[in-house]
Amino acid sequence: MLDFCIIGSGVSGSTIGYLLSKKYSVHILDKARGPGGRASNKRFKQNLSFDHGVQYISPKSKEFLKFIKNLCKKKEAKIWTGNHLDFTFEKKEISEKFIGMKGNNFISKFYTKKIKKSFQSSVKTIYNNKYFWEIKLDNGEYIQAKSIILTCPFPQTKKIAGKYLEKRISNLKINMEPNITIMLAFKNQRSVPVSSIKFNDDILTWAAFENSKNRFNSSNSLWTLQSSISWAKKNINNYKKNKRAENTIISKFLNLTGYKKNKIIFKKTHGWKYSYNLNGSPLKSYWNKKLRLGLCADWFIGPKVENAWLSANDLAKKIK
Ligand SMILES: Cc1cc2nc3c(=O)[nH]c(=O)nc-3n(C[C@H](O)[C@H](O)[C@H](O)COP(=O)(O)OP(=O)(O)OC[C@H]3O[C@@H](n4cnc5c(N)ncnc54)[C@H](O)[C@@H]3O)c2cc1C
């Protein structure tokens, strides 16, 4: 029987999957179409794509920096150069911005190369029959495993595993904030000497010029726009039906940059209901040896890819 079933192929799921696969059999399930979770990359056409979740990685810890630098050596990651404008004028340490060579889902892709994984496999329920776990998918399929690890955002973890979680876990105060992201491609607009813009605005807080990542060469200009948390909170439940929200953020961008609306050739809006939690928890991960149930994810520590990676490494140590 399978040793570990892992729910989620984001940074934490792929990291723990890779670490456990050195010793155990592992199968990763993800409801999405491909790996990466909130670090996904969306293709527009051929090699033109948007990083619509994670924008860049700026490692803080020595271990994570070493890992990312190693991926740079392997040509999986690189530094995002160019002009990063910050109109918030927040005082911050200047740190390097690392991105994936082909997309910001590079960590998941790298770690899961040799691991068994199934996409479009949404887990509906899990059941512990005292001997093993029965994992039921939305499509009616069942998977059995000796141990299970969940790596989803906190609300989704509670929904799936709630009845198996100790109170100290289910009672954690983890508020995962929303974000609305818009991907835009403009036809034949002039290229700009800018890589990203951080706005001091209540609605639009970030714009990334995808062309500046030098992953493709195109006369089309691709931009990823991200909203403020406060604005996303008001619009996350109705942005699909009510196009006013999408139009507001696009108009803001057009006014700020002078780009023309009639040059838009591609537009896609993605609502992240659980984008990140601003505060972490006292734990780094969770392992229930008796039930053989584990949890790791960014939300244990805080809202960054690095924290998802650290949480998975912490869980791997607990399991060993
Ligand atoms: C808009 C946005 C911008 C961000 N910008 C940055 C940034 O610039 N830098 C940075 O470091 N961090 C950033 N973050 C945070 C970063 O994305 C996360 O910290 C990190 O990706 C979390 O990884 P994870 O593996 O813990 O969770 P996730 O990536 O959320 O992985 C969980 C996975 O579980 C899957 N899943 C959920 N439910 C089920 C189910 N029922 N069945 C099967 N699969 C399921 C999901 O599809 C997903 O793939 C950003 C996040 C967002 C949303």
pLDDT at residue 192, as a whole number: 85
Dihedral angle sign, alpha carbons of residues 86, 88, 89, 94: negative
Residue of 245, 312, 286 lying closest to 111 (CA atoms) = 312
Residue of 142, 120, 117 lying closest to 129 (CA atoms) = 142
pLDDT score of 187 more than 80: yes
Pocket of ligand 1 contains residue 123 by CB under 6 Å: yes
What residues does CATH 3.90.660.10 cover in the chain? 176-277
| 67 neighbors 309 (Cβ within 8 angstroms) | yes
pLDDT score of 93 more than 70: no
User: What pLDDT, in 10s, does the model give residues 284-304?
Assistant: 999 999 999 999 999 999 999
Locate 47 and state its tokens.
């090699």
Pocket of ligand 1 contains residue 2 by CB under 6 Å: no
Dihedral angle sign, alpha carbons of residues 96, 102, 103, 104: negative
Dihedral angle sign, alpha carbons of residues 153, 155, 160, 163: positive
What residues does CATH 3.50.50.60 cover in the chain? 2-35+112-173+280-319
pTM across the whole model: 0.97
**pLDDT tier at 89, thresholds 50, 70, 90:** confident
Distance 275 CA to ligand 1 centre (A): 7
Q: Name the strand (E) or helix (H) holding 100.
A: strand 98-100
User: What pLDDT, in 10s, does the model give residues 148-175?
Assistant: 999 999 999 999 999 999 999 999 999 9
Mutate to test the pocket of ligand 1, among 15, 38, 108 (most ligand atoms within 8 A of CB): 38
pLDDT score of 261 more than 90: yes
pLDDT score of 265 more than 70: yes
Work out whether strand 116-118 and strand 26-29 pair parallel, antiparallel, or are unpaired: parallel
User: What pLDDT, in 10s, does the model give residues 191-239?
Assistant: 789 999 999 999 999 999 999 999 999 999 999 999 999 999 999 999 9
* pLDDT average, residue stretch 128-157: 97
Q: What angle do CA 300, 305, 310 make, to 5 degrees?
A: 55
Q: Which residues contact 159 (CB under 8 A, 6 or more apart)?
A: none
| 285 neighbors 312 (Cβ within 8 angstroms) | yes
- Topology (CATH) of 176-277: Polyamine Oxidase; Chain A, domain 2 (3.90.660)
**pLDDT tier at 55, thresholds 50, 70, 90:** very high
User: What pLDDT, in 10s, does the model give residues 223-233?
Assistant: 999 999 999 99
For residues 176 and 120, give the distance between their C-alpha atoms in angstroms, rounded to a whole number: 23
Residue of 32, 167, 160, 37 lying closest to 104 (CA atoms) = 37
pLDDT score of 68 more than 80: yes
For residues 53 and 42, give the distance between their C-alpha atoms in angstroms, rounded to a whole number: 9
Residue nearest to atom 19 of ligand 1 (CA): 304
Q: What DSSP state is assigned to residue 21?
A: H
Distance of CA 319 to the CA centre of its chain: 24
| 149 neighbors 295 (Cβ within 8 angstroms) | yes
How are strands ordered across the β-sheet holding 176-186? 84-86, 196-198, 204-209, 221-227, 176-186, 264-277
H helices present in the chain, as ranges: 11-21, 62-73, 106-111, 154-161, 167-170, 229-235, 244-257, 305-319
Matching CATH number, 2-35+112-173+280-319, of 3.40.50.10440, 3.50.50.60, 3.90.105.10, 3.30.1340.30: 3.50.50.60
Distance 39 CA to ligand 1 centre (A): 6
Mutate to test the pocket of ligand 1, among 52, 54, 228, 295 (most ligand atoms within 8 A of CB): 54
pLDDT score of 79 more than 70: yes
pLDDT score of 90 more than 80: no
* pLDDT average, residue stretch 254-264: 91
pLDDT score of 107 more than 80: yes
Q: How many CA atoms lie within 13 A of 180 on its CB side?
A: 26
Residue nearest to atom 50 of ligand 1 (CA): 54
pLDDT at residue 95, as a whole number: 84
| 199 neighbors 256 (Cβ within 8 angstroms) | yes
Pocket of ligand 1 contains residue 37 by CB under 6 Å: yes
* pLDDT average, residue stretch 47-66: 96
**pLDDT tier at 142, thresholds 50, 70, 90:** very high
Percent of the chain with pLDDT over 70: 99
| 194 neighbors 83 (Cβ within 8 angstroms) | yes
Q: Looking at ligand 1, which atom is closest to the CA of residue 35?
A: 49
User: What pLDDT, in 10s, does the model give residues 16-47?
Assistant: 999 999 999 999 999 999 999 999 999 988 88
* pLDDT average, residue stretch 245-252: 92
